[in-house]
Amino acid sequence: MTSTPRTREVLPSRIRALVWMECRLAVRSRFQRAVVVATIVVPLLLALSERGGRSDQQREGVLAVLAADAPPIDAYWFMLTDVSVLFVAVVGLLVGYDTFITERERGTAILRRTVPVTRGEVFASMLAVRLATVGVSLCLGALLGAGLVGATNGAHLFATMMATAALAALVTVVVGAGCWLSVLSRTRRQALAAVCLSIGAVVFGTPVLLESAPSLVFLHPFYAFTVLASSPFETVTPILETAAGASVTGEGYVVSVGLAGAVLGGWLLVTLFAAYVQFQRREWDA
């Protein structure tokens, strides 16, 4: 009698069970539902505001500049990039910060020791659901908004996909940072205080960095995202100007697209690795 070889599962059943449990908890959360709605609606509102045609004036945002007579698709991504400085920072950190805090408050963290799963699997399932809550819904809203303003030809679609990929990377960085703060904190109050300080650092620290130390601005994840998101659009330029391979000029500091991609990728790896390592070290019931 020959035995039938077992087919190896692409995703182990225990991981699917963890992800499914996290999804059910997210669906029950009013805050998570509100995040999904907000991350889809905000890009659509921005798209509606830019459907009126070309703007005859130059506009300057926090990290980018929109040239005069820019097409609606460029103006839309300029607005979305500008709003992301505050919106992604607030939403991403708030979604990430309660990752482990909520587990301890519900008492489910200590119960996980009785389940045959590793900490890495627990961490991956919680992170995946939170990234889906913010990243997938925000990218979906961004794509729908781009279609609303008229991204119909191949060039517009390619530029939109490139900018959306940069947006997804930024969301991963911010949610990963929120998860790290959640694991570091012992109480919800500590985690929320850390999140508020982080949001303040992004909102108020970014303009200060641009004014006082422009040579270091290339290390800022939001500026790196701005370089990547604006590069496919001819009329959108980072506020310190970007040019591949250029050096410091009298007008400002120039960050190439390759360097911006390396910086944002570095932030992504560092935040996720730091959160994972701290999660591995933390006591389940601490």
**pLDDT tens per residue across span 74-130:** 889 999 998 988 899 999 898 888 777 766 666 655 555 555 667 777 788 888 888
pLDDT reported for residue 249: 39
Q: Are 172 and 264 in contact (CB under 8 A)?
A: no
**Residue in this structure with the two tokens 């009013």, named with its chain if needed:** 30
User: Six-digit token pair at 79?
Assistant: 């607005």
Type of residue found at 26: A
Residues in the chain: 286
Range of lowest pLDDT (4-18, 51-65, 107-121): 4-18
pLDDT at residue 55 is higher than 60: yes
pLDDT reported for residue 168: 92
pLDDT tier at 158, thresholds 50, 70, 90: confident
pLDDT reported for residue 125: 81
Q: How far apart are CA 250 and CA 192, in angstroms?
A: 41
> What is the mean pLDDT of the segment spanning 257-283?
89
Q: Which residues of 49-85 are buried (b: 16+ CB within 10 A; e: fewer)?
A: ebeeeebeeebebbbbbbbeebbbbbbbbbbbbbbbb
Rank 3-7, 164-168, 186-190 by mean pLDDT and report only the highest: 164-168
Q: Are 267 and 202 in contact (CB under 8 A)?
A: no
pLDDT reported for residue 248: 38
Tell which residue, 97, 133, 118, 112, has the closest CA to residue 275: 97
pLDDT tier at 243, thresholds 50, 70, 90: very low
